[in-house]
């Protein structure tokens, strides 16, 4: 299971369901949704994930922000909805600067954040190494 699948699984455990998974030029867009619960609740909660396999480049950040704004408006995102740019590393200053330039609306701008998955990748590698060691130990016992 790769890092993106683990991130998706985290939301599926919270009741979200993948509604859309689409390859874009510089990354992959995943949209998850769950119906809002509660007495007065109506509509849905949404999570927008833009995944870059590796480090986020200026082009991938631009594509993510442009796509997110369009998605936010088309899907009528609200206060509880959020977006993430998932990557192994990112220049956060470039992300903040591009976010200011590309997104005029403060509510939309504040609802998307970068999520660096570097530690998760390292954790997966260590976990796989431990599994291999255990398997080898079982074989030799």
Backbone angles phi, psi at 67, to 5 degrees: -65, -40
Q: What is the pLDDT of residue 41?
A: 52
Q: Are 121 and 88 in contact (CB under 8 A)?
A: yes
Q: Is the dihedral of CA 99, 44, 2, 135 positive or negative?
A: positive
Q: Are 52 and 42 in contact (CB under 8 A)?
A: no
pLDDT in tens, the chain (141 residues): 588 999 999 999 999 999 999 999 999 999 999 886 655 555 678 899 999 999 999 999 999 999 999 988 888 887 778 999 999 999 999 999 999 999 998 989 999 999 998 544 444 455 555 444 444 444 433
Half-sphere exposure of 3 (CA within 13 A, CB side): 22
């Amino acid at each position: 299971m790769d890092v993106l699948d683990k991130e998706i699984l985290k939301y599926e455990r919270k009741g979200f369901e993948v509604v859309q998974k689409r390859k874009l030029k510089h990354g992959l867009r995943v949209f998850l949704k769950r119906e809002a619960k509660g007495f007065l609740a109506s509509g849905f909660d949404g999570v927008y994930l833009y995944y870059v396999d590796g480090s986020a480049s200026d082009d991938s950040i631009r594509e993510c922000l442009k796509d997110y704004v369009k998605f936010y408006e088309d899907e009528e995102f609200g206060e509880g909805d959020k977006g993430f740019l998932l990557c192994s590393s990112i220049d956060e200053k470039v992300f903040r600067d591009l976010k200011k330039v590309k997104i005029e609306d403060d509510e939309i701008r504040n609802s998307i954040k970068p999520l660096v998955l570097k530690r998760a990748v390292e954790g997966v590698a260590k976990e796989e190494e431990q599994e291999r060691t255990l398997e080898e130990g079982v074989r030799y016992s």
